[in-house]
Amino acid sequence: MCGIVGYVGSKDAYPILLGGLSVLEYRGYDSAGIALVNGKGLEIHKDKGKVDHLRSITHDVAGRGCTTGIAHTRWATHGAPSKHNAHPHTDQHDRIALVHNGIIENYSLLKEKMLKEGIKFRSETDTEVLAQLIGKYYEKDLAAAVRRALLEVDGTFGIAVIAHDRPGVLIGARRGSPLVVGVAEGELFLASDASAVVAHTKDVIYLKDNNLIELTPEGFDTTTLDNKKISPEIHTIEWSVDALAKGGFDHFMLKEIFEQPETIYNAMRGRLLVSEGVARLDGLNLVLPELRGIRRLVLVACGTSWHAALVGEYMIEEIAGIPVEVEYASEFRYRNPIIEPDTLIFVISQSGETADTLAALREASYKGATVLGICNVVGSSIARETHGGVYLHAGPEIGVASTKAFTSQLTVLALLTLLLGRMRRISNSDGIAVAKALEAIPKQVRKILRQNDTIREIAKIYAKHNNFLYLGRSYNFPVALEGALKLKEISYVHAEGYPAAEMKHGPIALIDQDMPSVVLAIKDSIYDKVISNIQEVKARGGSVIAVATEGDREIEKHARHVIYIPKIIPMLSPLLSVIPLQLLAYHIAAQRGCEIDQPRNLAKSVTVE
C-alpha cells in the first residue's frame, strides 16, 4: 500500500530515496516525504501530493552529501491527506524520524498515556504515536529504543527509523507489512517492495514478521523483537529493472495487458506436459498424497484474485469432481469456518501480502488445515507461511488494476485442475486435449490483442456513459464480474457484473439507452440462453457489446458491436474472453482522461483492513 525507501552507505541518499519513491508510485498514495541525517540533525521535507511535488520543494537538497535517510509515500488511513499527517513523523524533540506502513491498533491508548506525560502531538496519525514512543525511549541505542517501543504496540507495521545523532544507522522492523533489504558492497537499502532497490542490487533479504534489522555501511544485524540473533537468507531477484519501464506504452496497464502472451506462457512453462496430458506443480510435491484424498477445496482471495478463484471453482468441480467453495478472505477470517481433515485451503494473492488473505491463511493454519498459496511475489508472507504453493512468474505488476496477474492465476488454476482431474477423474486422452488447448492460449491472446485499435474505437462510442452492465454465464460469469471491476477501478464508471439469467431479477429495471450491456456470448452449451438474455436487453432499448466466438455471425444480428475471440474449450474461455474487457476498460478510462495506473483511492497491495 504505502511506499517505504531507506538508504545507508557512502553515496548521496537524496537521489536514491526520490528514485525509489518514483518506482513505488504505482502502489497508490496521497502524500510524500523524506528525512535525512545532515550532520546537524534531521532534515525533513513532506507535503500532500505527488513525488514530483516533493522533488520540486527539495531540489536544493541534492548534492549535500547526506548518506543516511528514509522516504515515504502515504495512503491515508488515520487522518486526511495533509502536510502534518504526511510521513516521516518525528518525536517531539525531533531526535528520531520514522516512516510506517500498517495500522497501530492501540494507538489511542498509547497516545492518551503520553499526553498525560506531557508529550505533544502534531498530527492525527497512528504513526506519530509510534514515533513519539520510540523517541521517549531513545538514548544512544536506536535499535533498543525501537525494540522496546514495538513490544508495546498492537497491530501491523513495516517501519524505517533514523536518529539525528546516528548517521550511518538505519533500523527496519516488520509485522504484517512487507520489508525487503537490498544488500550491496558498502551500502544497504530498505524498501517495502523489491522494485525500489532492483536498480541498485539484486541481492535481497525478505524480512520476516517480528524481525528487526540494524543497517550500517559495514553490514547488517538481524534479531527478533525479543533480541534473539537471526541469520537471514539472501535471495536473488529474477527480473531486471527493465521490467519497471513502460517500454513505449502510454501506461503500465496497457503494457501489462500486452505482456499476457508471455506471462501466461511463463505460468505454464515447465509445468505442462502436453504429450502426457498432465501438469507438474513442484511446489505442491509435499502435499501430493493429500491432493489425492481431499474431499473439499476452499479458495480464499480478495478482489480480482477472488474472481480468478470463482473460475477455478467451475474448472475444478467440472474436471476433477471435487466440491469447491470460494470465500472472501475478509469474511473468512472473521467467522468460524468448518475445516474438516480432508479439506484443503488455497489462498490466492498477487502480492502475497494482502492483509485479509494473510489473516485467513493464519486462521486456517491455526485450525489445522493444510494451506497452499498462489502468488506472484517470491519471498512474500503468503509464500513463506503456506505449506506449499505455486508462483505465477508474471514479473512485477505495476498497474494498480490487475491484468496479467489475473490471467496467470487462471493459468495456474487450470494447471491445478488438470493435475487433480488426471489424479481422480479424466482419461489420458481428455488430459491431452486440455493440455493442447492450454498450450495454444498465448498465441490466441496475441490474436485478440491485434484488435486493440477496433476496441479503442468502440470505447470512444461508449466513453461518456456512466453506467454499464456486464453479463456472463457459467465460466464467463466471473469474467463479467472482473470486466465490471476493471471499468470501475480505472474509469470511475459505475458497472455491475451479473449472471446473465439473473439480470431479469432486478437489474433489468435499470436498462435503457443510456446503460450499455457488455455480454460474454461464447459458443458453448448455454449459448442460446445468452442470446435470449441479449434480446431482453435490446427490447428495453439497451445497446449490446458482445464478446463472441470466431465464426459466429448469428451474434451480429443481436449486438451493436462484436469483439471476437478464437475458439477454445469452455474451461479455458475466461483466459481469452477477459482480454477484450481489459482493453475496453483501459480505452474508456483513457478517453475520460483518468489516471489509469494510479486510480484514486486505490492501492496495489492492500496491507490494511
Cα separation, 347 vs 301, whole angstroms: 6
Cα separation, 561 vs 565, whole angstroms: 13
C-alpha cell at 117: 506525560
Is there a contact between 517 and 470 (Cβ–Cβ < 8 Å)? Answer: yes
Maximum C-alpha span of the chain:
78
Burial class (CB in 10 A: 0-12, 13-18, 19+), 280: middle
Per DSSP, what are the bridge partners of residue 220?
A: 215
Is 594 tagged catalytic? no
Cα separation, 503 vs 435, whole angstroms: 34
Query: Could you write out the DSSP letters of every residue in 146-188?
Result: HHHHHTT--B-EEEEEEETT-TT-EEEEEEBS--EEEEETTEE
Is 604 tagged catalytic? yes
Per DSSP, what are the bridge partners of residue 544?
A: 517
Contact residues for 59 (Cβ-Cβ < 8 A; gap 6+): none
Task: State the residue for C-alpha cell 503494457.
Answer: 255
**Beta strands 324-328; 296-301: pairing state:** parallel
Cα separation, 552 vs 531, whole angstroms: 12
DSSP state for residue 282 in the 8-state scheme: G
Angle at 351 between CA 392 and CA 364, to 5 degrees: 95
Cα separation, 234 vs 244, whole angstroms: 22
Taking residue 160's Cβ as centre, other Cβ atoms within 10 Å add up to 30
Nearest to 304 by CA among 403, 417, 392: 403
Q: 303-320 vs 477-491: helix axis angle to the nearest 10?
A: 170
C-alpha cell at 4: 517505504
C-alpha cell at 214: 540494524
Taking residue 166's Cβ as centre, other Cβ atoms within 10 Å add up to 21
Cα separation, 404 vs 410, whole angstroms: 10
Per DSSP, what are the bridge partners of residue 97?
A: 90, 162
Taking residue 442's Cβ as centre, other Cβ atoms within 10 Å add up to 19
Per DSSP, what are the bridge partners of residue 298?
A: 325, 345
Question: What is the H or E stretch that residue 382 is in?
Answer: helix 381-385
Of 208, 255, 486, 604, catalytic = 604
Is there a contact between 86 and 33 (Cβ–Cβ < 8 Å)? Answer: yes
Is there a contact between 597 and 251 (Cβ–Cβ < 8 Å)? Answer: yes
C-alpha cell at 485: 471491476
DSSP state for residue 557 in the 8-state scheme: G
Task: Show which residues are catalytic.
Answer: 2, 604
